[in-house]
Amino acid sequence: MKNSLRFALVALATSAFSLAATPPALSAESAVKSLRGADAQVSDQAPEEKIQLGKRPGSQKPIARSFEQQPPVIPHATENFDEITLEENQCLTCHGPEKYKEKKSPRIGDSHFRNQQTGEIMKQMSSARHNCMQCHVPQVDTPPLVDNTFQGVPQPKAAARKKQ
């Protein structure tokens, strides 16, 4: 009884293995090809890490926005900053409402003080804006992933932007 069970299991395992190892033969025309040209079962390689373009904050100009509500891209490097955690956010040590003047940095946007539920403007930054890098990205020198003819809309005047 024990032996026959073991035999049955081995037989099952062997047939499962042979099924996996030898896919049914396909003719040349009907062979399935992946669009990306790589074996779909091989996981993607992590892309090589690119060096950020910007230098230390305070040494370059903001980059023009492509449209009015675009989260501005980060013109300076962020590689040397600590990672944003639940307790700490180094970005706020320069961009937060308490320190921005002293640090000669642009203050976080007006929208960052809006309560997500009620829409009211708060004194504190909304916690929904804590993870800066979710919306603001540093820059690297890399070609566009696909050719495109995208053009930003003309820049609104800074004064008009402030009114919102």
Shortest distance (Å) from residue 83 CB to ligand HEC: 9
Are 97 and 107 a contacting pair, CB within 8 Å? yes
Which of 97, 136, 139, 156 is close enough to bind ligand HEC by CB under 6 A? Answer: 136
CA distance 139 to 64: 13
List C-alpha distances in Å: 154 to 7, 65, 143, 161: 75, 9, 23, 13
Tell me the residue type at 82.
D
Which of 69, 142, 148, 151 is close enough to bind ligand HEC by CB under 6 A? Answer: 69
Selected range binding ligand HEC among 4-12, 29-37, 43-51, 87-95, rule: CB under 6 A: 87-95
**In degrees to the nearest 10, what's the CA dihedral of 99, 95, 75, 80?**
80
Nearer residue to ligand HEC within complex by CB, 31 or 159: 159
Contacts of 76 (CB under 8 A, 6+ apart): 54, 55, 56, 57, 58, 59, 60, 138
Would you state the structure tokens that stand for residue 161, as one six-digit string?
């932007």
Which of 16, 122, 135, 140 is close enough to bind ligand HEC by CB under 6 A? Answer: 135
Quick note: the x/- pattern for ligand HEC over 10-49, rule CB under 6 A, is: ----------------------------------------
Using CB under 6 A as the binding rule, whether residue 77 contacts ligand HEC is answered as no
CA distance 112 to 64: 20
Selected range binding ligand HEC among 7-15, 115-123, 130-138, 148-156, rule: CB under 6 A: 130-138
Would you state the structure tokens that stand for residue 30, as one six-digit string?
């009907």
Which of 8, 10, 12, 110 is close enough to bind ligand HEC by CB under 6 A? Answer: 110
Would you state the structure tokens that stand for residue 96, as one six-digit string?
């937060």
Using CB under 6 A as the binding rule, whether residue 71 contacts ligand HEC is answered as yes
Contact set with ligand HEC (CB under 6 A): 57-60, 62, 69, 71-72, 74-76, 78, 81, 89-95, 103-106, 108-112, 129-136
